Amino acid sequence: MSDETRLFPDREALCRQAATELLEVLAAAVKHRGEASAVLTGGGTGTGVLTAVAELLETAEQPEAAGQAAVTAPDWSRVHLWWGDERFLPVGDPERNEVQAHRALLDRLTDPSGPVRMPAANVHPMPAATGCAPGEAADAYAAELLSRARVRNSETDRDGGGVDRRLPVFDVVLLGVGPDAHVASLFPGRPGPLAVGATVIPVTDSPKPPPQRLSLTVEALNTAERVWFVVAGTDKAEAVGEVRRARDHRSTDAARWPASVVSGRMATTWWLDEAAAGN
């Protein structure tokens, strides 16, 4: 299946449209399967998508929104949110993807006095560096994914597992692409992109600080129904070009370009601003 490319003039336009379609994907999954799961990413563009979701929801709640296009939102009580990777830092550290996501959107969704009221238990952050080693934390997150895959869905009368029985169905996985073509915390020249037999791995030698991280594996990412690469900025253009050429010519290489070997089962979409698209 070929990749789809969506091109936008800037990061703001990219995030706004991705946010709109993310809500639509989650709403459709809830309607057809009884629940939905998304895998979130950090970075400026990943967090920007969540900020845009919050803005859409806020706009929809305003009285003057009656004359505007309707926002398609899911039943948030049936949506589960996961992470593709995380910096292995203490709870509350502002560099954690989870903390940034809460500030952008999740505090609003899980506020018990707010209009959305998403159960806090539906948010599944990766463990923080508090009293455990990265390997133990990776095992704990893999166990949480497995437990959710085994939850029986009363509406569909089947468990929540997808093509990989260790994992729930990931309706959409959001991923950035680094200037070195890494995705999640799977870096070129490191063992992570080549890991087999696991859904979550510890990363202890990240070339970007902090060195300790947790990451879903290529195996896990490739179970997603949809993979969305959300990429903005001129510093990403060279990596995006290399990865896309490798994919087009069937010359993917996990060790060299980790992003080249990640694809959605139904669709793979590149959400690019003009700067990241380059030529």
Query: What pTM did the predictor assign?
Result: 0.94
Cβ pair 172, 229 in contact under 8 A = no
State the Cα–Cα distance between residues 219 and 193, nearest whole angstrom.
9
Mean local confidence (pLDDT), 14-28: 98
Token pair for residue 156? 């569909």
Tokens of 129: 């560096």
* C-alpha 21, offset from chain centre: 14
Tell me the backbone φ, ψ of residue 189, rounded to 5 degrees: 80, 5
Cα gap 254→194, rounded to integer Å? 7
pLDDT at 64 over 80: no
How far is the first Cα of the chain from the last one, in angstroms, to the nearest whole number? Answer: 23
pLDDT at 71: 81
* pLDDT one-digit tens code per residue, 133-145: 999 999 999 999 9
Alpha carbon 89 to its chain's center: 19
* pLDDT at position 199: 98
Least confident window among 17-26, 55-64, 192-201 = 55-64
What length does the chain have?
Answer: 279
* Dihedral angle computed from the Cα positions of residues 86, 269, 223 and 173, in that order, rounded to the nearest 10 degrees: 30
CA distance 53 to 20: 7
Measuring CA to CA, how many Å separate 40 from each of 45, 156, 171?
Answer: 11, 25, 11
- pLDDT at position 154: 58
Q: What is the pLDDT of residue 60?
A: 80
The pLDDT of residue 218 is 98
pLDDT, mean over the chain: 94
* Predicted confidence (pLDDT) at residue 68 exceeds the cutoff of 60: yes
Q: For the packed helices 43-61 and 11-33, what is the interaxial angle rounded to 10 degrees?
A: 70
Residue 246 has pLDDT above 80, yes or no: yes
Give me the pLDDT at residue 129, please: 96
Decide: residue 267, CB within 10 A, 0-12 exposed, 13-18 middle, 19+ buried: middle
For the record, the structure tokens of 272 come out as 């690019």
Answer yes or no: is pLDDT of 247 > 80: yes
Q: What is the pLDDT of residue 67?
A: 54
Confidence of residue 104 (pLDDT cuts 50, 70, 90): very high
Using the predicted structure, report yes or no on whether residue 66 has a pLDDT greater than 60: no
Q: Kindly indicate the confidence band of residue 182, based on its pLDDT and cuts at 50, 70 and 90.
A: very high
Q: Which amino acid belongs to residue 183?
A: V
Rounded CA separation 206/182 (Å): 11
pLDDT at 228: 98
Instruction: Average the pLDDT over 90-97 and give the result.
Output: 96
Which pLDDT score, from 0 to 100, does residue 62 have? 72
- How confident is residue 151, by pLDDT bands cut at 50, 70 and 90? confident
Question: Which regions of the chain does DSSP assign to beta strands (E)?
Answer: 4-8, 36-40, 79-83, 85-87, 152-153, 158-159, 172-175, 200-203, 213-216, 226-231, 267-273
Looking at residue 116, its pLDDT comes to 86
